[in-house]
Structure 1
């Protein structure tokens, strides 16, 4: 028996860790329910809640080490997610735009801040420059809004996130330099140390982190271990940045960029990262920010109010000017300008770091013994008020602009959906080991943020009399459903008895209006007759069951052989035959390749004859993604592709049924080549929808 404690401590602030944690969870749970009715953005509501329960409000909870730890993790999480959500191909394309915006949003506030600090507030030059650095820095506190609304890959968001990293880096480097100059610590060695440490930090994160993550994900499949590993890299990157003299948020963002390609946006790991961040870490950070707000600063002295008013007005004006210049420079829409302004106008992390450093730097003492600080107490109090104001402005502006963009995207998606058939992907599964990879491939090929449209089928031959066969089938289907659920996607499981497995697959495909089939690759070695135009030669070949499915269905079909986890594949090499553009399913499978490029982040290289290349490039221009095109005419010498293969590549062959427009005799030898020349590589045989020989529309 355990003794029951009858003493309950009801004094304020709350010290009981269980009660404290319960209170914060209740706030996180209740805030959306209450604030949605009041039309107050969720993020702002958490900040207000933090101010109410914090030491300057009702004094229910102190901003102690536990709150600071959780809040720090939340801030790093926001920056990490912003790097992880980046569309790297779009980021590379827009990197110069991010650079331009970063210079706008740094230089405009810097210039206004120096003038205001020196001439309006009467601060010394070093203090004025440091105050201007506060104006230039910004925090992506409203990023969860664009993430939840599904526009994290919009051009305005990409520009804003990249620009934030640039302006925060410049602002924090300015902080380091000004403090060093004010204290007399700047010499020749100072500049060498700063430059080398920053370069070394960036190189370690950008080069070493992807190598470590690739090795880990390839050898460790445990979901919990993968998540903890990613979290460890985030904090390691933040610490390395801190050692280099940068703010930790820069390291967290660089960690997100480094792991971007290895954590696909549709993967279960990405789903877990976003879930934990939005459920725990980020709300803790926002509540912790609210606890900093001291409303009593309004009534302490006129100087704090004056400094706060100047800071709020100039910061808002400067960030709006930077967003306006960016809009005009790159011809963006008004809603995109609003999103850029909203994301860049909040000041929390770097601003707090800078003001605390400036406040703690003592330049001397007055005759009365009072310390002369680089930034005085009025700036500290004004910063707290400025945080509340800028967070409010940022949240409302981002919510408005992001909502309008999301609504416009939804309307375009509805138009696209009305022109294209709804996706229904069938995944025949035969064992637990391959089910997860088949599901992963299917998710990569489908439109993002569409939680439906996947079917897993386990077919049982009527002639099998094993009493445990159905139990094993249910276990395999449960494994497939669990793999899909990890990516927050619903997968409908189907168990079917039929005269043979191929007949069950074809029948379900007709009944469910299936648009794509993703199935495992099965080999057979004895020679068998060809089935309905599917070549089955002697030696290694696709199995009879797959050939039968292809012969009796005209559906885009992917025969997938996974030699390594799909998330660790660095490049997909797509080999396209001549006249592939004349097949009925050309647009369909190209759409799938485009989704693969967008969802996986891996490089796509398309090898095709010169005559087919213009059609591929036209499609690529309409649907930009990370895809390169290489002219390839050696279909009679397919083993020559071995020279282009690298470790961690996945090889794709766009196939054809015999006597169709794009058929090439070498296709019958591809299974043999896969075993002789391309063993150890993952590969996909892609069979598109094809019209019959007598249909002149596709000839």
Structure 2
């Protein structure tokens, strides 16, 4: 009895959940299985068919699971890249319609084949119609997000998920009992008005609030959470399932959040706490005897899985014929639209829990179990196929030519007017006299190459009284540093406009000044007085990366930039950030008559033709540069990328890296490879990042 009463305690249940979330996913990821599979298994083991440590009927579990379910759909709305969608709106609508209708028809046929009613069959069809962009990180890492086929698939997610949730809302309403044509019309009318209010009202309110609240991230965070739950409650008020509201809220605040730190915090708290709770609860609901029985009569599960895989392929094939895509693009579109996780699982759980007055569920336990198997199969199969074929995709050369990071140094003739209006400007925050000379030299070399100017900036911490003696002393020290910066700059015969700013936040002071001066580039340094870890993960650097409107170069210079003769640029993909790092290196090499080596490290199992194709594309991009710089491409096979780069960099003066970052509890950090490079490289380093990269 004591044990039972203990496990019923909300604190104990929450502690068990935290322990599971903390320990289980990493174990399964080491086994090369999705972490969410581990959460489902943990739910099964801790539920009524296992150790009985967690009760699926517990109010604590239900509350956390409900929040997780809403968060899952909210994040699904947030992750849709509206900017990418706008670029290919018509084709996204076309493929979205195909990849929604074809699986929908396949699902309805499957339901009818197994003698389900029309309402349940339509619901099964809607479960197959949506998709989750589970393999998006793969295409992002490969640098092919700008490929039209990928962009079209991402945009299609808006139609598949929205359509699937609207069908769910109608099917749940019909299953509830007395449902006539009039009540259906009222539901659809209310849904249309509600959708317009959420999408346009929340978007307007969010932009107004963010504009008025300035840098108050805590209040902005609470506003977004309030928007999520207001939309969910509003959906229930009009008789629609609350996950529809959560998804629409995600779409509504998508533009508001952009790539801001608040968005990172919103997604972080969901991904580490609430969404895992939802998957554990899904595991708790799985009845092992019934699950085994479902698998023993495997035909329903098999037909659902085959229907999904086949129908998604047919939709992608029709898009290939319609838009003249090649085979690699066909297979990438198919694999990206395969995974059935977010909308599918959330909708399946809602349908399973929907019971009519006669006590009948909208979908049976067999269908729910089949959907879980479908999720497991597609969550593994989709990313595997994506990683295999997406690497063969190519980006249009114009994607690089029109991007700010790849054009600000080129000085094309059609940009002369713009350059005369806004000359190339390098902002240089200075705060450490020990590193100031090399930092100013780097900025002056770049500015002189572009016939631009540099703006040395000294940030002085604000005080309550402007006549505070400490502030007066700090301002005097700032002027001394700026005078030294001006002297160094004059050696390079570039225009110098020193600036002092009094600000409470150094990072925002840098970003605001760069915007006011219309800076083309911010060149920052790592302090030599602090540990490397503090320099790398420092909040000032992270905040400037987040808020800057222009590229940011963070430097660790061990010698004068004037002496640099050999520059190494590790190239893992052909993203705009990588091309920006290449162009940055070429500018510096052009000033010093130096050599640039592009190093591509490929895994040993990579097919030779893929490496040759990559080198060919890289060579084309390099040849289009207007700078006559000695640029060589070197390829090496090795499974330890960081160690290979460190070994090859021993004979170089400078390594130009791009900032590739991931989420951590403290915000953003650079990737593990970059972290190791910065820690162990013996040469000078430039870490280059795009705005919001």
* TM-score category of the 2 structures, normalised to the smaller one: 0.5 to 0.7
Match of 1:282 in 2: 275
Tell me the equivalent position of 2:470.
468
- Residue aligning to 2:29: 36
Q: Is the 8 A contact 2:153 2:337 kept in 1?
A: yes
Match of 1:238 in 2: 232
Alignment partner for residue 361 of structure 1, among 348, 356, 362?
356
1:68-107 pair list within 5 angstroms:
68-107=62-101
- The reply on whether 1:208 has 2:189 as its aligned counterpart is no
Question: Does 1:257 find its partner at 2:254?
Answer: no
Out of 6, 25, 31, the residue aligned to residue 18 of structure 2 is 25
Cα distance in 2 for residues equivalent to 1:396 and 1:132: 22
For 1:342, what is the secondary structure of its paired residue? coil
CA-CA distance at 1:103 after TM superposition = 2.5
Measured in 2, the distance between the counterparts of 1:27 and 1:506 equals 60
CA positional deviation for 1:17: 2.9
Question: Do the aligned partners of residues 39 and 81 (structure 1) sit closer, same or farther apart at CA in structure 2, a change above 3 Å counting?
Answer: same
Offset of 1:348 from its aligned partner? 0.8
What is aligned with 1:337? 334
Give how far 1:231 is off: 0.5
Q: 2:485 is matched with which residue?
A: 504
What corresponds to 1:446 in structure 2? Answer: none
For the pair shown, the structure with the greater C-alpha radius of gyration is 1
Q: What do residues 279-322 of structure 1 show as CA deviations (whole Å, max 9, x unaligned)?
A: 21222222222222222114447996543343333334333433
Q: Any idea what the Cα deviations from partners look like across 1:466-518, whole Å, max 9, x if unmatched?
A: 86249968xxxxxxxxxxxxxxxxxxxxx97663525437759999xx9x999
Distance in 2 (CA, whole Å) between partners of 1:144 and 1:14 is 38
Deviation track 1:153-192 (CA, whole Å, cap 9, x = no partner) reads 8766654555444344444544555566678844453243
CA distance in 2 between counterparts of 1:237 and 1:510 reads: 61
SS at match of 1:335: helix
| 1:156-235 correspondence to structure 2 within 5 Å | 159-160=152-153, 162-175=155-168, 177=170, 185-220=178-213, 221-235=215-229
Aligned length, in residue pairs: 466
TM-score by length of 2: 0.55
Q: CA deviation at 1:227?
A: 0.5
Equivalent residue for 1:381? Answer: 365
After superposition, the C-alpha distances for 1:512-531 in whole angstroms (9 at most, x for unaligned) are: xx9x9996899xxxxxxxxx
1:13-47 per-position Cα deviation (integer Å, ceiling 9, x unaligned): 82233332222222222234322321112232222
Structure 1 residues 582-661: aligned runs within 5 Å: none
Residue pair 2:80, 2:155 contacting (<8 A) in 1 also: no
Normalised by the size of structure 1, how large is the TM-score?
0.54
Aligned to 1:352: 349
Q: 1:374/1:50 Cα in 2 relative to 1: closer, same or farther (>3 Å)? A: closer
Which ranges in structure 1 are unaligned for 5 or more consecutive residues?
1-7, 364-370, 431-454, 474-494, 523-545, 559-565, 573-593, 596-622, 624-699
Counterparts in 2 of 1:88 and 1:102: CA distance versus 1, 3 Å:
closer
Contact 2:39 2:279 in 1 (8 A): yes
Structure 1 residue matching 2:115: 3-state secondary structure: coil
Show CA shifts across 1:351-384 (max 9, x none).
Answer: 2223433xx2356xxxxxxx7x475xxx522123
Q: CA distance change for structure 1 residues 39 and 414 in 2, over 3 Å: closer, same or farther?
A: farther
Q: Does 1:391 align with 2:375?
A: yes
- CA spacing shift, 1:321–1:333, aligned 2, 3 Å: closer
Across the aligned residues of Structure 1 and Structure 2, the Cα RMSD in angstroms comes to 5.3
Aligned to 1:52: 45
Question: Structure 2 CA distance, aligned partners of 1:380 and 1:509?
Answer: 78
Contact 2:46–2:52 (CA under 8 A) maintained in structure 1:
yes
